[in-house]
């Protein structure tokens, strides 16, 4: 096996992944003769007369580098040793999985950099803990979906104490560990300010989800005609670079022919759409133009999100949003309307599937006609009943966004391997649910959760099949992992049972992605 190592160290170009059996043999060789670390076989990469790999020792992960070239090793911060393999002198470096070492590794291995997606069918895999990417990858390998592995919202970062760079680095090390070379995106999720944009741009994100929810006027749907007219008149027309008369001339009363239907937007519909979403258009335009300036030529993609509103986005409103963004020169890849029905966190779709299918088909027709761009499904975790409908109607023009469900699968892992800790987490989550639920769309009632004292250890994982328990545990993640008596054993359990957590995640995401294959 030393011959395999020495042979590949002579190559300057990127060598394709080793066959599984050879990768495992080489991992054992690196463990026994050079590093004394358990090496992840799929992480092994040969390039530039060096081999890079990820290993684990005493529960901590390290970057390993072996190369006859001293300059290759010295650019990484770590411990170095010299040795001889089959008469070849090599330097072995064991380096921390630090942000600085991640920068150097990205410069060498281009597939560790986030990239844009385009109009490929895609899925976002949020990870609140920084440990889930290997499980996400194992599931995504079975699909044709393009993955986003670095995805966390500003709100989630605030509650977990993480930063955009931390999220990016954690995803990158997961990509490296699993040997994923087919590309991934990085989603700066639910951005509300230019300062948020700047922080994610500095960390190398490629996908920016603008959340203009604070600028939606939900009252426009029911306000009187006179008040509606006033709302439209006081819109920031200078920022919209238009006038009420221009808007009417562009969209009112004209027959709009779409794939399967046609419509005419009445004056009433147009004025309500403008009153409801006019400030959204102005805000999105300002953020987008700041983003263009901030990225300074680097490729990026925009997602517009209006899903977290009180009322459904009508087809006329969708047309208004897309038409106005297009007029203002905004380029976007996906849009998340507020669909019919209810999208609560961590549970299946609540609503009439027939009604959803009819509405979704009209929305995708608009996206095809005025774009094309993808429709994005936010709060998309565990919405198993609508996946077949969305996949069939949208084809490639679909983006599924998941997040908290990976945290719930971490709790499932803990319930199986550390039941006492799981019980403590449930008690703590119940206490903090009343305050933590305020910024999430959930309807769970604590009274509907079984008394955990009555459940045996074997029954604990079943609690994660209960609607009310799932939502309570889903939204209290920040309180749980920031509570010192819970935090240390929480992460220790997941690290000790890393492979189990990865397999549990793989199984869970197979259920999410199956309909999109």
Active-site residue, from 169, 170, 187, 189: 189
pLDDT reading at 195 higher than 80: yes
What is the average per-residue pLDDT within 106-121? 97
Can you point out the beta strands (E) in 157-245?
185-191, 207-210
Query: In this model, does residue 2 exceed pLDDT 70?
Result: no
Q: pLDDT digits over 333-370, tens only?
A: 999 999 999 999 999 999 999 999 999 999 999 999 99
Tens digits of residue pLDDT in 272-292: 999 999 999 999 999 999 999
Whether 279 contacts 217, CB under 8 Å: yes
pTM above 0.75, yes or no: yes
Catalytic pick among 169, 178, 303, 409: 303
> Is 64:30 a contact under the CB 8 Å cutoff?
yes
Question: What phi and psi, each to the nearest 5 degrees, are found at residue 396?
Answer: -75, -20
Catalytic annotation present for 189 = yes
pLDDT tier, 308 (very low <50, low <70, confident <90, very high otherwise): confident
d(CA 397, CA 425): 39
Measure the CA–CA gap between 174 and 215, rounded to whole angstroms. Answer: 37
Q: Is the pLDDT of residue 101 over 60?
A: yes
SS3 for 232? Answer: helix
Reference 162, options 194, 131, 135, 117; nearest CA is 131
How large is the average pLDDT for residues 427-455? 96
CA dist 235 to 230, 243, 277, 280, 307, Å? Answer: 9, 9, 10, 10, 21
Domain residue extents for the chain: 2-108, 211-397, 405-516
Kindly report the backbone phi and psi dihedral angles of residue 302, in degrees, each rounded to the nearest multiple of 5, phi listed first.
Answer: -115, 135
Residue 1: its pLDDT value, please? 52
Side-chain-side CA neighbours of 88 within 13 Å: the count stands at 21
pLDDT at 135 over 80: yes
Gap between the Cα atoms of 224 and 484, Å rounded: 53
pLDDT, position 414: 98
- Which tokens belong to 182? 């087919």
Q: Is 389's pLDDT higher than 60?
A: yes
pLDDT of residue 302: 98
Name 91's Cβ contacts closer than 8 Å, sequence gap at least 6.
65, 66, 67, 68, 69, 70, 72, 73, 80, 81, 82
* Secondary structure of 301-365 in HEC code, one letter for each residue: EEEEECCCCCCCCCHHHHHHHHHHHHHCCCCCCEEECCCCCECCCCCCCECCHHHHHHHHHHHHH
Average pLDDT over residues 378-395: 97
**R_g (Cα) of the chain, nearest Å:** 25
226 is a catalytic site residue: no
Q: Across residues 172-184, what is the average pLDDT? A: 98
């Amino acid at each position: 096996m030393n011959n395999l190592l020495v042979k590949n160290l002579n190559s300057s170009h990127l060598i394709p992944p080793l066959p599984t059996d050879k990768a495992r043999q080489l991992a054992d060789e690196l463990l026994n003769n050079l590093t004394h670390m358990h090496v992840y076989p799929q992480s092994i990469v040969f390039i530039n007369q060096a081999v890079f790999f990820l290993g684990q020792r005493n529960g901590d992960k390290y970057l390993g580098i072996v190369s006859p070239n001293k300059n290759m090793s010295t650019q990484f911060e770590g411990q170095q040793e010299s040795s001889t393999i089959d008469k070849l002198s090599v330097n072995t470096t064991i380096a921390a999985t630090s942000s600085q070492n991640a920068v150097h590794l990205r410069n060498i291995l281009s597939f560790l950099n986030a990239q844009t997606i385009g109009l490929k069918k895609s899925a976002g895999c949020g990870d609140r803990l920084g440990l889930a990417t290997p499980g996400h990858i194992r599931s995504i390998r079975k699909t044709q979906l393009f993955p986003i592995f670095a995805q966390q919202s500003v709100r989630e970062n605030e509650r977990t104490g993480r930063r955009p760079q931390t999220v990016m680095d954690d995803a990158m090390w997961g990509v490296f560990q699993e040997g994923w070379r087919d590309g991934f995106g990085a989603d700066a999720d639910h951005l509300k300010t230019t300062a948020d944009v700047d922080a994610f741009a500095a960390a190398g994100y490629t996908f920016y989800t603008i959340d203009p929810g604070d600028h939606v006027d939900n009252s426009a749907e029911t306000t009187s005609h006179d008040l509606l007219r006033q709302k439209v008149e006081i819109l920031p027309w200078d920022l919209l670079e238009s006038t009420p008369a221009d808007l009417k001339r562009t969209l009112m009363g004209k027959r709009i022919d779409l794939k399967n239907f046609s419509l005419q937007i009445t004056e009433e519909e147009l004025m309500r759409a403008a009153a409801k979403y006019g400030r959204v258009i102005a805000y999105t335009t300002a953020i987008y133009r700041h983003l263009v300036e901030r990225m300074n030529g680097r490729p990026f993609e925009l997602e517009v999100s209006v899903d977290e509103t009180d009322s459904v986005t009508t087809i006329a409103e969708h047309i208004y949003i897309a038409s106005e963004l297009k007029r203002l020169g905004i380029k976007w890849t996906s849009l998340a309307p507020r669909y019919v029905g209810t999208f609560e966190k961590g549970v299946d779709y609540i609503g009439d599937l027939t009604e959803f299918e009819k509405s979704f088909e009209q929305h995708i027709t608009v996206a095809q006609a005025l774009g094309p761009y993808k429709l994005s499904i936010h709060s998309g975790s565990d919405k198993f009943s609508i996946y077949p409908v969305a996949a069939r109607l949208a084809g490639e023009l679909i983006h599924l966004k998941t997040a908290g469900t990976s945290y719930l699968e971490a709790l499932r892992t803990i319930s199986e391997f550390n039941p006492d800790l799981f019980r403590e987490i449930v008690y703590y989550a119940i206490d903090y649910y009343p305050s933590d639920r305020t910024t999430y769309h959930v309807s769970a009632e604590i009274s509907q959760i079984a008394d955990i004292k009555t459940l045996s250890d074997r029954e604990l994982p079943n609690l994660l099949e209960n609607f009310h328990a799932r939502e309570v545990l889903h939204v209290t993640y920040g309180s749980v992992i920031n509570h010192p008596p819970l935090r240390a054993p929480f992460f220790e359990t997941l690290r000790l049972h890393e492979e189990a957590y990865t397999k549990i995640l793989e199984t869970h995401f197979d259920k999410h992605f199956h309909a999109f294959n």
